[in-house]
């Protein structure tokens, strides 16, 4: 690999919260704990896939509902099943095979570059945009159903639940976007 590819790979790893600890091991921190999984080079790609699981769950919802319009319930169910399958596979079968270590404060003594923060913000914006598109499609479905006189209670309830869940997802993504934007401003102040 040349230097450009290595730099891109390092940025993708940092974006997914994969970094090297003080002993130069590649680690993936376990959320809300002071522990981390030790990764080999083969496992990094899998963890990057796991980190983007929400995109793989939203994609079938956007495609199926966007193309066919009537299949909201199967599209949402497929998205939830896909997300759950990825989550269960990784947490029940993949992560338990990895070695767990305890992280020390000096293990976090790495700096996340400004470029990586901007990439994270851009990725979050894309996720938020995808959620917004799904939200618009669902609201459009509800409006069309009511104007055509098709007031099926199951469609109304499933659409309402889908609107709520998508709006909730959108709120979490926007919260992360604002948090990352704040970090970018702080980094810019440090470098100025």
On whether the CB atoms of residues 182 and 120 are closer than 8 A, the answer is: no
* Beta strands in 94-149, from DSSP E residues, in sequence order: 100-102
The Cα 117–Cα 174 span in angstroms is 15
On whether the CB atoms of residues 61 and 166 are closer than 8 A, the answer is: no
Of how many residues is the chain composed? 192
Using alpha carbons only, what angle is made at residue 17 by residues 119 and 183, rounded to the nearest 5 degrees?
55
pLDDT (tens, 9 = 90+) of the chain, 192 residues, equals 566 766 666 666 666 677 777 777 888 877 767 788 888 888 888 888 888 887 788 788 777 777 776 777 787 788 888 888 999 999 999 999 999 988 776 665 454 555 656 666 667 777 777 777 777 777 777 777 767 666 666 666 767 777 777 777 777 777 777 777 777 777 777 766
pLDDT of residue 117: 60
The Cα 58–Cα 75 span in angstroms is 9
pLDDT of residue 120: 65
Q: Long-range contacts: 155-160, Cβ < 8 Å, 24+?
A: 155/72, 155/73, 158/72, 158/73, 158/76, 159/72
Residues 6+ apart with CB under 8 A from 139: 163
């Amino acid at each position: 690999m040349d230097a450009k590819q290595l730099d891109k790979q390092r940025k993708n790893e940092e974006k997914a919260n994969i970094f090297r600890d003080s002993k130069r091991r590649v680690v993936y921190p376990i959320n809300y704990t002071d522990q981390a999984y030790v990764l080999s080079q083969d496992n990094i790609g899998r963890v990057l896939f796991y980190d983007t699981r929400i995109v793989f769950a939203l994609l079938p919802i956007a495609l199926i509902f966007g193309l066919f319009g009537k299949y909201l319930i199967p599209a949402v169910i497929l998205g939830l099943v896909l997300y759950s399958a990825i989550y269960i596979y990784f947490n029940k079968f993949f992560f338990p095979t990895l070695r767990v270590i305890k992280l020390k404060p000096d293990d976090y003594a790495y700096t996340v570059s400004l470029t990586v923060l901007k990439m994270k913000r851009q990725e979050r914006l894309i996720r938020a945009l995808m959620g917004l598109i799904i939200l618009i499609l669902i609201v459009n479905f509800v409006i069309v159903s009511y104007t055509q006189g098709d007031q099926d209670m199951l469609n109304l309830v499933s659409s309402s639940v889908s609107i709520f869940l998508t709006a909730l997802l959108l709120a979490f993504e926007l919260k992360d976007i604002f948090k990352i934007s704040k970090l970018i401003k702080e980094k810019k102040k440090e470098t100025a």
